[in-house]
Amino acid sequence: MAKDRRSPDGNGEISRRNFVRAGGAAAAGSAILGGAAAPLAGSPLAPEESPSLFPSVPRQEARIQTYRTLGRTGFQVSDVGMGSVPLRETSVVRYAYDKGVNYFDTAEGYGNGAAERAIGEALQHMERDKVFIATKARVGERENAEAVIEKVRQCLQRLNTDYIDSFSMHAVPSVEALGHPGYHAAMDQLKAEGRVRFTGVSNHGPGMGEILSAAAEDGRFDMMLLVYNFMNHEESDQIIAACKANNVGTTAMKTSPGSLEYEPVDPANLSESQQRYIERLTSRGQSRERALERLQSQANRQKDTYDKTRPFAERYGIQTQDQLRLGSIHWVLQNPDMHTACISFTEFELIDKVVPLSGTRLTSPEEHMLRQISLVLGDQYCRHGCSDCLDSCPFQVPVSTVMRYAYYYQGQKREKYAMSKYAALKEKSATLCLDCVGKCEGACTHGLDIQTTMHQAHALLTLA
């Protein structure tokens, strides 16, 4: 039995006891300014330990919280679905199912049929009508209905089931290909026989927006599998809108892109791994120039990914690749019109990390922290973004903004940044509070002693 690695209270959230022990009150208005201890290293709220931005600590007790209607199929799918490449362990499929995941995406080409076989083995431990099995295959231009039916027959065999919930055309190359007569004839027959319930299309190449939007409007397809992530959503948003308008199910793949680093190429000073790459290509008969060209092209792609990742990472305070992976999945889950996100679960631990995201809101670390603090400290905490007290102040001092800077200083240890932000407030800073008669008394709807808090914040942010 692995040790339970949940938070001390076992739920990954912060209790009042832990919050205080952690010195988390440092982030909470008057409590910190009153001189509480700095956060303890390793405590749930220590900034250097990641301020619980995402529940990256696995939570084995978590279960799926949100189910959405998969378009006209009417099936209630878990917002977190399971992709199946590279899938090796049948028991991982069972584990996901036991956590409430009920959508399983696979394809004949994943592991050359191995993924379907693994799901087929796991299906023997599931209630068949409680899960949605979506598989797919490439359909060649010249393949007829008989060939497509043969593909489905083999999928059924590998999946060890009497019917497939949906059989999609995989990686459809063009709008014209959506009308494939062999595929549609086969689906008509297989639906009539009860072997296939619904149809769909997947694409993640050039033209995805055009192809899948056309598929959504076509009327013959019940669901789509598309690329959807924070780096690539403009095109996907159009598809999702078309799906919504036509009551077509939406499922997401490639939900966790991005990179927090890249390695530039200097031909005169290649890294060890770059050198190995060059040697490998030249040993296969390529010229060094051509190999370098490929290496450079690879580096350019990585740089592009890095550049696209950076704003997202900065917004949500993401610092590690693991956080990026979970954060980007969490971003996908926010859209109620994206019915399920297919996550490639290859290990139990990833399931324990992703399932707790089900039905939860993506917040910045600051928002997350403040939300948690608000639960713990109630009337001691100044709400981020609240301006209820503003009208009571004759000088319009932005109280919640001042408190946010105090949090930057003490909660996040970004002292210089906090002080510079505070200094930029100039005539709107809490300097004005020092000689004020305190007209704000009683103005906080949450019971905060505003003037005292402002005095303390000013002292902190000016080192007075």
Partner 1 sequence: MGLTNRNTVLVPGLFLALLPLVGCSSGGSEFPEVEGWTQPGEVLFYDADTLWEYINGAAELFVSYGVQSCRTTDLSSGDLTVTVDLYDMGTPLNAYGVFEQESSGETVEVAGAVAALVSPPYQALLLKGSTYAKVNVFEGELTMESGQGLLEALAAGLPGQATPPAEFGLLPSEGLMEGSHSFQAEAFLGLTELTDCVFANYSRDGEESWQGFVVLPDAAQEVWDHLSGEWESVESGGSEVKFREVPYRGLVGVTWTDRGLMGVTGAADQEALLARLDGFAH
Q: Which of 226, 231, 281, 333 binds partner 1 (CB under 8 A)?
A: 281
Tokens encoding 336? 């109620």
Residue 111 interacts with partner 1 (CB under 8 A)?
yes
Ranges of H-type helices in 264-320? 272-283, 288-315
Residue 286 interacts with partner 1 (CB under 8 A)?
yes
Q: Which of 107, 216, 242, 403 binds partner 1 (CB under 8 A)?
A: 107
Number of Cβ atoms within 10 Å of the Cβ of 351: 23
Q: How many Cα atoms sit within 13 Å of 296 on the Cβ side?
A: 9
Residue 187 interacts with partner 1 (CB under 8 A)?
no
Residue 1 interacts with partner 1 (CB under 8 A)?
yes
Residues 86, 346 contacting (CB under 8 angstroms): yes
DSSP string, 101-128: --EEE--TTGGGGHHHHHHHHHHTTS-G
Q: Which is nearer to partner 1, 324 or 440 (CB)?
A: 324
Q: Which is nearer to partner 1, 211 or 393 (CB)?
A: 211
Q: Which is nearer to partner 1, 286 or 363 (CB)?
A: 286
Cβ 160 to partner 1 shortest distance, Å:
11
Q: Annotate each residue in 53-92 with x if it binds partner 1 (CB under 8 A) or - if it does not, as one string.
A: ------------------------------x-xx-xx-xx
Residues 110, 88 contacting (CB under 8 angstroms): no
In sequence order, what are the beta bridge partners of 340?
Answer: 251
172 burial (CB, 10 Å; 0-12 / 13-18 / 19+) is buried
Q: Which of 114, 126, 375, 436 binds partner 1 (CB under 8 A)?
A: 114
How many Å separate Cα 58 from the centre of its chain? 15
H/E element, 427 = none
Cα(151)–Cα(146) distance, integer angstroms:
9
Cα(411)–Cα(31) distance, integer angstroms:
12
- Smallest Cα–Cα separation from 120: which of 78, 156, 88, 86? 156
Q: Which is nearer to partner 1, 43 or 364 (CB)?
A: 43
Residue 308 interacts with partner 1 (CB under 8 A)?
no
Residues 132, 102 contacting (CB under 8 angstroms): yes
Residues 157-186 that bind partner 1 (CB under 8 A): 157-158, 170-171, 173
Residue 2 interacts with partner 1 (CB under 8 A)?
yes
Residues 320-359 that bind partner 1 (CB under 8 A): 344, 346-350
Residues that bind partner 1 (CB under 8 A): 1-3, 5, 83, 85-86, 88-89, 91-92, 94-95, 98, 107-114, 117, 125, 138, 140-141, 143, 147, 150-151, 154, 157-158, 170-171, 173, 202, 204-206, 253, 277, 280-281, 284-286, 294, 298, 301-302, 344, 346-350
